[in-house]
Amino acid sequence: MKPIIGVLANNLLQKDGKFPGLERTFVNQEYITAIEMSGGIPLIIPFLKEKSVIEKLIMQVDGLLITGGIDVSPQYFNEEPLPKLGYIEPELDQFHLYAIEYAEQHHKAMFGICRGLQILNVAFGGTLYQDLSYVESGTIKHWQDSRRCGRAHKIALTEASALKAIYDDGIMVNSFHHQCIKELARGFKVIAKASDDVIEAIESEQGNYKLAVQWHPESMTKDKDHHYKIFEYFIRQTVANIKV
């Protein structure tokens, strides 16, 4: 059985060039390829504002992939914007938040990547650091100057977790983010951290299956010993979730 995986799209606003102001709905091809390689059927869900349309598309899928992208607006976790907050689109946040809410109501498995981890945490009541520089204890470098498939830093895995089941030992991950989890949402547990204690992965403790990571495994799927496996794991969990 090949589950249908809805892939939440992002919105790209062209700021200069020949067509300033033009908006594009897009998804990086790496997400699509990773789902297909892992036995799923990807279905792109475009940036939408009408709730009834979002609902109809969510009902067509078995699981939901929440992709990376721009910063999450602090208005959705009750903070004022701080100086190092990046570009935001509150309407895009509203789209992703409602899609997550409706998917949860209808028992869909979910997998969040980078921004996907952040918006998933916010959707269930958690908060974010608007920039890593606001972490008082200090952090390692989390935005690598190298190819997207390159390895940036190690993560430590929690025992009795999805990642431990997939990888067994700690792994090296890529890293392209400047926001991170501050307060973890209720109903989740931390299953991986970087050496500076920045949360790198979370998993739901009960109910519909939810997994989220701070790095970009879709850019590292050629490394079959590691990052390819996380998509296969999510596909298996999605199938199991359908049967429950």
Would you state the pLDDT for residue 223?
Answer: 66
Would you state the pLDDT for residue 148?
Answer: 87
Q: For residues 181 and 63, what is the distance between their CA atoms, to the nearest angstrom? A: 23
Would you state the pLDDT for residue 77?
Answer: 98
List residues with catalytic annotation.
114, 216, 218
Would you state the pLDDT for residue 170?
Answer: 73
Q: What is the DSSP letter of 203?
A: E
Burial 88-124 (b: 16+ CB within 10 A, else e): bbeebbebbbbbbebbbeeebbbbbbbbbbbbbbbbb
Residue pair 40/76 in contact by the 8 Å Cβ criterion: no
pTM as predicted? 0.94
Domain ranges of the chain: 4-243
Would you state the pLDDT for residue 24?
Answer: 87
Would you state the pLDDT for residue 226?
Answer: 63
For 4-243, CATH gives 3.40.50.880
Q: In tens digits, what is the pLDDT along the chain, a chain of 244 residues?
A: 899 999 999 988 877 777 777 888 999 999 999 999 999 999 999 999 999 999 999 999 999 999 999 999 999 999 999 999 999 999 999 999 999 999 999 999 999 999 999 999 999 999 999 999 999 999 999 999 998 888 899 999 998 888 988 887 778 999 999 999 999 999 999 999 999 999 999 999 988 899 999 999 999 877 655 677 899 999 999 998 887 6
Q: For residues 176 and 159, what is the distance between their CA atoms, to the nearest angstrom? A: 26
